[in-house]
Structure 1
Amino acid sequence: MSVETVVQIGIRSRLIGDAEVIALVPAGHVLDRSQRPIIDPSIIIGEGLSIDDGDSIARNRYRVVSTLHIWKKEPSLAGARAIAWAIRAAIKQGRLDLSPDFHCADCRVSSVRYLRDPDGETSHGVVEIETIAEDMP
């Protein structure tokens, strides 16, 4: 399995296993899908990027940037902010479990931004999570 897929599984597992996140977004609403959701509220596991971290001559260390999209029908951004804060708290709990093939050296929320959807009814949050993962020997 690719490092990007393993990190995505680790992030989703962390989010659906966190009571604070699930109190705001049901586990079944934390999804990997391409189209804009009709599910309210939801966390969509979106785009990703992996980079050779350049820290090791063995080339076994990767920086994986995962983008999560928060969607909530609301007149303000308050609900999206609450969900993003719950995601941040869940990720801060420690290293992700990345299966026997990879080790999570670090994981953090590196940025959060909030947008108003042009429909005038939906708030949108974008959370970027950076994970440093290493191949296990």
Structure 2
Amino acid sequence: MTVSDPSLALQKAIRTRLIASSELMALVQTNHILDANGRPEIMPAVYIGEGQTIFRRWDATTHATLHVWFQEPGLVQCKEAVSAIVAAVRIDAQADGVLPIDGFTVHDMQATQTRYMRDPHGSFSHGVVTIAAIVKARAP
């Protein structure tokens, strides 16, 4: 099978990096980090959600959106989890080397935006993390 869109491979790599983060694992259970839709039934949770790939001739930039959910009256735990996510996903090929993923090589990955929202009823906090990765296809 030829892999032409790196978004699924990147999603798997992001999950692997998140569950390797002791800071994040202190806040969210491993089996609560998944690809799912809607507000989670289980809390806290990190949903690896939407994706987008922008192709260029020699490489591509793949974006992933993570949704972070906590049942809390404020945003403290949500912001702590988002900070752990930002640290866990960072890859700089010049400093750290590249990251091989299924069919591709990640040369740069970082969080490009974080947002925090309050539940109108005051029961939940919701964080959104946007991640961008520059990837190149690897020869089979």
**One fold, TM greater than 0.5?**
yes
Look up the match of 1:129.
Answer: 131
Look up the match of 2:112.
Answer: 110
Q: Which runs of 5+ in 2 are unaligned?
A: none
For residues 16 and 58 of structure 2, the distance between their equivalents in structure 1, rounded to whole angstroms, comes to: 24
> Out of 35, 39, 59, which is 1:61 matched to?
59
Q: Percent identity?
A: 38
Query: 1:74 and 2:76 equivalent?
Result: no
For residues 89 and 77 of structure 2, the distance between their equivalents in structure 1, rounded to whole angstroms, comes to: 19
Equivalent residue letter for 2:50: E
Q: CA deviation at 1:60?
A: 3.7
Q: CA deviation at 1:20?
A: 1.0
> TM-score scaled by structure 2?
0.88
Q: Which runs of 4+ in 1 moved over 3 A?
A: 93-97
For residues 97 and 9 of structure 1, the distance between their equivalents in structure 2, rounded to whole angstroms, comes to: 12
Q: CA deviation at 1:128?
A: 0.4
Q: CA deviation at 1:92?
A: 2.4
Equivalent residue letter for 2:49: G
Look up the match of 2:18.
Answer: 15
> TM-score scaled by structure 1?
0.89
- Tell me the matched-pair count: 131
Q: Contact 1:62 / 1:134 at 8 angstroms: preserved in 2?
A: yes
Q: CA deviation at 1:118?
A: 2.0
Q: CA deviation at 1:96?
A: 4.0
For residues 28 and 119 of structure 1, the distance between their equivalents in structure 2, rounded to whole angstroms, comes to: 27
Query: 1:48 and 2:46 equivalent?
Result: no
Q: Which runs of 5+ in 1 are unaligned?
A: none
Q: Any idea what the Cα deviations from partners look like across 1:79-128, whole Å, max 9, x if unmatched?
A: 100000000111126554413x1100100000001000123200000000
| 1:66 to 1:22, Cα distance in 2 relative to 1, 3 A | same
Equivalent residue letter for 2:13: G
Look up the match of 1:6.
Answer: 9
